[in-house]
Amino acid sequence: MAPAKILVVDDDPAIRNLVHRFLTKQNYQMESAEDGKSAMQVFEQFNPDLVILDVNLPDANGYSLCQEMQSRTNVFVLMLTSRTDEADKVRGFAQGADDYITKPFSLVELGGRVGAILKRQRIVTTAEQQCLTFGGLMIDPVRREVKLNEEIVPLTALEFDLLHFLAAHPGRVWRRAELIQEVWDYEYVGDQRVVDVHIGQIRKKIEIDTSQPALIQTVRGVGYKFESPAVVS
């Protein structure tokens, strides 16, 4: 397989160069940019698999840039920021970010996060290739597509993985920590509300009534479960 392509966008040359050198040694194909304008130019030419994106750029808002990039390709986005406020993380995930790392960070941790995100590009096994169908909802793990009443549902990579995982185990209740371990695929250190944020985003896209979700149900005090419409009471 060809090495994954990563674009790092940060206006701090020390951080940008450090990350660029470190990930180059991990055998990734790297490009970098110092602001939003040059980032989009490199993005168009390089077509990266993952963008490591600073929230605060001199000429652009990282959240807006994240949305702009993901509207063009199914690129993964790892937000990089000096902010520690949970509300900023929630906003980042709501804008489609796949992960979030706060400065200062260790290069080992960054490498772990990058590896976990890129695992989502893995080739699905034969056992995982079956389309899941629940009434008008169809989940295709090979094309990584979700359709609701024949209409494509625009999901981020992480939203797809979370929905597919829940739907592949209908009726099973999962704690937030279990979902993080299974879907994020590493030991996530932080507020487990990130699960709630992603569930909320998915519900907006597939539920008829988000105030009374029928497909992804909340089990109070525990976590979440996916219910087939055929067995919803």
Question: What pTM was estimated for this model as a whole?
Answer: 0.65
pLDDT tens, position by position, 52-68: 999 889 999 888 999 88
pLDDT of residue 113: 87
Q: Which carries the bigger pLDDT value, residue 1 or residue 123?
A: 1
Cα→Cα distances 57→12, 17, 36, 62, Å: 9, 16, 7, 7
Q: Which of 12-21, 87-96, 130-139, 149-158 has the lowest mean pLDDT?
A: 87-96
Q: Which two tokens stand for residue 76?
A: 């993964």
The set of long-range contacts for 202-206, using a CB threshold of 8 Å and a minimum separation of 24, is 202/155, 202/159, 202/162, 202/163, 205/148, 205/153, 205/154, 205/155, 205/159, 206/137, 206/146, 206/148, 206/153, 206/163
Percent of the chain with pLDDT over 70: 87
φ, ψ at 175 (rounded to 5°): -75, 155
- Tell me: the pLDDT tens digits for 108-125? 989 988 988 888 765 445
Helix (H, G, I), strand (E, B) or coil at 3: coil
Q: Give the domains, in start order, of the chain with CATH numbers.
A: 5-121 (3.40.50.2300), 126-231 (1.10.10.10)
Which tens digit of pLDDT belongs to each residue from 177-218? Answer: 889 888 876 665 556 778 888 899 999 999 989 888 999 999
C-alpha dihedral sign at 45, 46, 49, 55: negative
User: What pLDDT is attached to residue 170?
Assistant: 92
Q: Please, are residues 160 and 198 in contact by the beta-carbon 8 Å criterion?
A: no
pLDDT in tens, 73-119: 878 899 888 766 666 666 677 677 888 888 888 999 899 889 888 88
Neighbours of 173 (CB within 10 A): 13
Cα separations in angstroms, 222 against 54, 141, 157, 164: 34, 27, 25, 20
- Cα angle 157-112-100, degrees, rounded to a multiple of 5: 55
For residue 231, what pLDDT is reported?
Answer: 45
- Calculate Rg over the CA atoms of the chain: 18
Please report the pLDDT score of residue 104 as a whole number: 87
Segment 118-142 mean pLDDT: 75
